[in-house]
């Protein structure tokens, strides 16, 4: 009979096998977690309560595309008597919805330019150098102002000026509806009594022309 291995030798071999099996079954160590991203920087001066933070896309008042810039260009052109180019700048300012104060100033400028053309104080130019008067252009400017801004202080005055222009030129068919429009839209205007008188005159001349 062969000699058996000592019991401690067999026990050591079993322990070694168990250690190898344990190492094989042990999973790889997990990757340590990545540190979190730092929080966004906070402004040192927070907005006070009720204060509107400035919008990134808000246009500064002196930007080249702002209403104030177009109004300033119009003023410069008006100073050198270039009313038609100034009018274009004022129209651009109105399209950009200026604040109330600038709106009123711009409308007043347009009203005055319309009167200048209507009453012959301003000329238009053919081919850039041949001047000619254009009351019809003044009528167009004033009529558009009344149509788009009917509640301004000059609105009734604008209609009265248009109607009187037609009456001075004995264009009774044109002046009559304008006087009627003035009376209907602005019954408390100071021009209403005169408008009634001129309306009667226009009706008289209209009847007379059919005889």
DSSP secondary structure letters along 100-160: HHHHHHHHHHHHHHHHHHHTTSSEEEETTTEEEE-HHHHHHHHHHHHHH-TTSTTHHHHHH
Looking at the domain assignment, is residue 26 inside a domain?
no
Say how far apart CA 113 and CA 78 lie, in whole Å. Answer: 9
> What Cα–Cα distance (Å) separates residue 40 from each residue in 43, 54, 55, 170, 174?
10, 19, 19, 76, 69
* Model pLDDT for residues 66-94, shown as the tens digit of each residue: 999 999 999 999 999 999 999 999 999 99
* Model pLDDT for residues 138-197, shown as the tens digit of each residue: 999 999 999 999 999 999 999 999 999 999 999 999 999 999 999 999 999 999 999 999
Give the domain-ending residue among 104, 134, 164. 134
Q: Which two tokens stand for residue 118?
A: 């209507």
Give the domain-ending residue among 85, 106, 134. 134
Say how far apart CA 98 and CA 92 lie, in whole Å. Answer: 10
* Model pLDDT for residues 4-37, shown as the tens digit of each residue: 445 444 545 444 444 444 444 444 454 555 555 5
For residues 157 and 200, state if they share a domain.
Answer: yes
For residues 125 and 177, state if they share a domain.
Answer: no
What total number of domains does the chain contain? 2
Looking at the domain assignment, is residue 55 inside a domain?
no
Q: How confident is the model at residue 126 (pLDDT cuts 50, 70, 90)?
A: confident
For residues 71 and 105, state if they share a domain.
Answer: yes
**Domain extent at residue 188:** 153-211
Looking at the domain assignment, is residue 14 inside a domain?
no
Q: Which two tokens stand for residue 165?
A: 């222009």
* Model pLDDT for residues 145-157, shown as the tens digit of each residue: 999 999 999 999 9
Question: Regarding predicted confidence, which is higher, 112 or 40?
Answer: 112
Say how far apart CA 104 and CA 20 lie, in whole Å. Answer: 93
For residues 128 and 169, state if they share a domain.
Answer: no
pLDDT above 50 (res 128):
yes
For residues 158 and 209, state if they share a domain.
Answer: yes
Looking at the domain assignment, is residue 51 inside a domain?
no
Looking at the domain assignment, is residue 24 inside a domain?
no
Give the domain-ending residue among 85, 100, 134. 134
For residues 164 and 100, state if they share a domain.
Answer: no
For residues 99 and 160, state if they share a domain.
Answer: no
Looking at the domain assignment, is residue 74 inside a domain?
yes
Looking at the domain assignment, is residue 11 inside a domain?
no
For residues 129 and 175, state if they share a domain.
Answer: no
Q: Which two tokens stand for residue 40?
A: 């966004």
For residues 172 and 127, state if they share a domain.
Answer: no
Sequence-ordered strand ranges (E) for 73-203 = 123-126, 130-133
Looking at the domain assignment, is residue 48 inside a domain?
no
Distance of CA 87 to the CA centre of its chain: 17
Q: Which two tokens stand for residue 152?
A: 């301004």
Taking the model in full, what pTM does it have?
Answer: 0.68
């Amino acid at each position: 009979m062969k000699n058996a291995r000592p019991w401690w030798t067999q026990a050591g071999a079993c322990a070694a096998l168990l250690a190898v099996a344990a190492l094989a079954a042990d999973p790889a160590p997990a990757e340590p977690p990545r540190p979190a991203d730092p929080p966004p920087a906070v402004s040192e001066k927070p907005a006070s309560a009720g204060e509107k933070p400035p919008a990134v896309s808000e246009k500064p008042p002196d930007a080249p595309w702002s209403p104030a810039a177009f109004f300033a260009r119009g003023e410069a052109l008006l100073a050198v008597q270039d009313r038609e180019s100034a009018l274009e700048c004022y129209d651009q300012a109105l399209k950009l919805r200026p604040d109330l104060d600038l709106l009123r100033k711009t409308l007043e400028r347009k009203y005055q330019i319309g009167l200048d053309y209507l009453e012959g104080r301003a000329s238009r130019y053919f081919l850039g150098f041949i001047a000619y008067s254009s009351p019809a252009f003044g009528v167009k400017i004033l009529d558009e102002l009344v149509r788009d801004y009917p509640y301004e202080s000059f609105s009734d005055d604008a209609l009265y000026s248009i109607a009187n222009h037609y009456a001075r030129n004995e264009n009774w068919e044109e002046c009559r509806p304008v006087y009627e429009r003035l009376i209907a839209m602005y019954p408390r205007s100071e021009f209403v009594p005169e408008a009634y008188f001129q309306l009667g005159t226009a009706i008289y001349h209209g009847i007379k022309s059919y005889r």
